[in-house]
Amino acid sequence: MNKAPSLSTELPPVIALVLFTVVSLGLGVVANMAQRKGSFLEKYFLGGRSLGAFAVALTAAVMSGGTFVGFPSLVYSYGWVVGLWIGSYMIAPLTVLGALGKRIGHISRKTGAITLPDLFRERFGSPTLGLLTSLLVMGFLSTNLVAQFTAGARIMKFVLPSGASNWVIRDEIIATADSGYLLGLLIFAVTVIAYTTYGGFLAAIWTDVFQSIIMAIGVMLLFPLAMAACGGLANATTSGVAQTDVGFAFGPGAERAFHPIGLAFSFFVMWAITGMGQPSTLVRLMAFRDSRTLRYSIIYLTIYNAIIYIPLIFIFVAARGILPNLASPDDVMPSLVKTLANPWVAGLILAAPYGAVLSTVSGWLLIISSGLVHDLYQRFLRPTASEREVAWASYAATVAVGLVVTALAVRPPAYLQLIVVFSSSGMAAAFLVPAILGCFWRRTTAAGAIAAMATGTAVTLALYVVGSLGTAALGLDGILADTSMIGPAKGMRPYYLLGLDPCVWGLTASLAAGVVGSLVTAPPDPARVALLFDAQPPGAPAPATLELHPELRKTIEA
Amino acid sequence: MSHEPDPVLTNSRREAVIIGLAWLAATAYTCIYSYLYGYIRPGRPLTVADIRPVLGMPSWVFWGIMAPWAACSLFTFWFAGFYMADDDLGKDHTPELERDIREGGLHE
């Protein structure tokens, strides 16, 4: 039987989260002071390309709300096969940071690019491509942000004293909505919007590092507690099998074919390859200090992944033995913490998922606001805007984006991790191939890059639409095989063509379109390409000149 | 104008190819091993007796996921620690471009 919550058990997690929030806000203030000198935009959105190895590694860790809310529920629900779901993290630090890192850093420095749309526009000399990139980045990340805000609010609701919402949220709202969730959402939104807006990129990075350290401590505290409570992993596995079926110990998973081998392969593409194409990753690849920093960050990230993700699998397999038959697997993380740890340790551990969500959100908020201010407002409307005007536009954009996402998160979507997966696939299908081709193939044209982006996005979205609506609703029953029995049981689900995730088809289609689109269009200007691909003599012109920005010249002259 | 490829490009391309091969090897080993020894499939039903725990985890998880994870980590340490080149990424032109845009002029 559950004990009634008392002040002594409810207060410590609240204090931990308050401290966490105060430190994050404080880092926002310090970051603001640290970036007052130099170009506002480069400092606010890119930290002045000064990131060290530790910061790059910890901020490139793919921690998010899903890591501590959706992922544990998948392990709890489907068992050991979820280890294969994230198995590609074994190689991801090398692929995500190492494959494109130096070339992205190189090209962005040469062209003066500080955002992903900037990078594509400069590399391919196409304002249209830059605009398309901006719109896609904002669309995908906004979708993803809603899931992250939901996760943050859910954690906050779990930690808040049960009566707290009654004196903050009005009665009429309580009657129509979950007041604890709304209060959690309000606190979360105010915190993250405040420190991100004030501190910019450096605040996002510093809080990210701080939060990553807290996450590591949280996982390491929880790991021995869970192992001791479940009586060992073998015991927990037996419990899981008893509560579900033998699939808890094997692939493709307990009670349904959650992760057949086609999806196992797909997820090696998903995390290790598509991770390279995420806008947040590409922005970090523009922001690291030098090559040596990049090398060390790969090593640090490898260590970090091993000490976070492997224990997370063990912990939530163990949860089956400790908390059998939970009604809501999404709550397994906070439930486990409250069950195992004393309230003060629980407070610290619960701060870990909260930190994961905060750090993800702050980075994405900035990417979206940089798209609005730098790529749209400054590029097309007010290129000669003063530093002060750009600064205020940046602050306003960050707040506005945060408020819109908060409003959307009032009605939370089910099964967060799937939304994260959907956005990840979509963004990678859009941006990865243009990034790879742009870095390594001089024959790539702007038309090829646009074709790659549009085709990758269209194929991925089409497979999600078919999966969500069902083949029957679309009259495709006799043409496409039913894949409703594989993958997660609920939430937004794609159509798994030939048993593979849409990310595989999206990337394949994008690559084909990028190569064909480039070959059938006129080759790019050799002189322009040479500036980015050939060794240049001292004093050679920089690619970052207004001569290569016809859209700016037009606006300035007007 | 020079037609020598930029050294950052040549080093990055060589390193990217090796990274791609490492990804392929890790993916192939993990997926094939796991499918052969850890998946219930037609003609190969598995039971609790097939779990055969190694350090508490099913043996397929240990050999199919944890062992390659350790091998990949060692490879990564060597590759990033000793193989990758420390290339000079060049001068950052952002401030010049920003200034040009704001002033509406060109620079050399």
CB–CB contact A87 B65 (8 Å): yes
Identify the pLDDT of residue A517.
97
Contacts of A291 in chain B (CB under 8 A): 84-89
Q: What would the pLDDT profile of A519-531 be if each residue is shown by its tens digit?
A: 999 999 888 888 8
- What mean pLDDT comes out for the span A222-239? 90
Which of B 5-24 lie inside 8 A of A, CB atoms? 5-9, 11-13, 15-16, 19-20, 22-23
- Please check the confidence at residue A354 and state whether its pLDDT lies above 90: no
Per the CB < 8 A criterion, the answer to whether A240 and A254 are in contact is yes
Which of B 34-63 lie inside 8 A of A, CB atoms? 34-35, 38-40, 46-48, 50-51, 53, 55-58, 60-61
Q: What is the CATH number of the domain that holds A273?
A: 1.20.1730.10
Q: DSSP string spanning A19-78?
A: HHHHHHHHHHHHHHHHT-SS-HHHHHHHGGG-B-HHHHHHHHS---HIIIIIHHHHHHHH
Pairwise pLDDT comparison (B25 vs A541), residue with the higher score: B25
pLDDT band at residue A92, thresholds of 50, 70 and 90?
very high
Domain of A362 in residue numbering reads as 7-414+527-557
Per the CB < 8 A criterion, the answer to whether A116 and A279 are in contact is yes
Pairwise pLDDT comparison (A402 vs A512), residue with the higher score: A512
Contacts of A546 in chain B (CB under 8 A): 97, 100-101, 105-107
- Cβ-Cβ pairs closer than 8 A, A with B, add up to 264
pLDDT band at residue B28, thresholds of 50, 70 and 90?
very high
In a domain, A170, yes or no: yes
pLDDT band at residue B108, thresholds of 50, 70 and 90?
very low
- The structural domain count of chain A equals 1
In a domain, A476, yes or no: no
Per the CB < 8 A criterion, the answer to whether A69 and A353 are in contact is yes
pLDDT, mean over chain A: 82
Q: What would the pLDDT profile of A430-456 be if each residue is shown by its tens digit?
A: 999 999 999 999 999 999 999 999 999
Disruptive mutation site among A85, A266, A291, A533 for chain B (greatest number of B CBs within 10 Å): A291
- Please check the confidence at residue A219 and state whether its pLDDT lies above 80: yes
**Distance between CA atoms of A24 and B55, rounded to whole angstroms?**
39
Identify the pLDDT of residue A458.
92
CB–CB contact B48 A542 (8 Å): no
Out of A87-96, A138-147, A217-226, A244-253, the most confident range is A87-96
- Please check the confidence at residue A225 and state whether its pLDDT lies above 50: yes
- Please check the confidence at residue A174 and state whether its pLDDT lies above 60: no
Contacts of B50 in chain A (CB under 8 A): 250
- Please check the confidence at residue B105 and state whether its pLDDT lies above 50: no
Identify the pLDDT of residue A1.
38
User: How close B1 gets to chain A, by Cα (Å)?
Assistant: 8
Complex ipTM tops 0.90: yes
CB–CB contact B98 A112 (8 Å): yes
Q: What would the pLDDT profile of A378-398 be if each residue is shown by its tens digit?
A: 777 887 788 788 888 888 888
Which residues, including other chains, have CB under 8 Å from residue B91's CB and lie 6 or more apart?
Answer: A109, A110, A542
Identify the pLDDT of residue A3.
44
Contacts of A294 in chain B (CB under 8 A): 84
In a domain, A522, yes or no: no
pLDDT band at residue B86, thresholds of 50, 70 and 90?
very high
In a domain, A351, yes or no: yes
Contacts of A535 in chain B (CB under 8 A): 2, 4-7
**Distance between CA atoms of A209 and A55, rounded to whole angstroms?**
6
Q: What would the pLDDT profile of A95-119 be if each residue is shown by its tens digit?
A: 999 999 999 999 998 888 888 888 9
Per the CB < 8 A criterion, the answer to whether A72 and A312 are in contact is yes
Contacts of A111 in chain B (CB under 8 A): 93, 97
Determine phi and psi for B60, rounding to 5 degrees.
-65, -30
Disruptive mutation site among A44, A51, A84 for chain B (greatest number of B CBs within 10 Å): A84
In a domain, A122, yes or no: yes
**Distance between CA atoms of A338 and A158, rounded to whole angstroms?**
10
CB–CB contact A99 B16 (8 Å): yes
Contacts of A110 in chain B (CB under 8 A): 90-91, 93
Lowest-confidence range among A104-113, A300-309, A334-343, A507-516? A334-343
In a domain, A115, yes or no: yes
| Amino acid letter, residue A219 | V
CB–CB contact A537 B20 (8 Å): no
Which member of A49, A233, A535 has the closest CB to residue B4? A535
pLDDT, mean over chain B: 88
Contacts of A388 in chain B (CB under 8 A): none
**Distance between CA atoms of B82 and A329, rounded to whole angstroms?**
44
User: How close B41 gets to chain A, by Cα (Å)?
Assistant: 9
CB–CB contact A112 B92 (8 Å): yes
pLDDT band at residue B106, thresholds of 50, 70 and 90?
very low
Express as a percent the part of chain A with pLDDT over 90: 24
In a domain, A511, yes or no: no
Per the CB < 8 A criterion, the answer to whether A152 and A191 are in contact is no
In a domain, A28, yes or no: yes
CB–CB contact A250 B60 (8 Å): yes
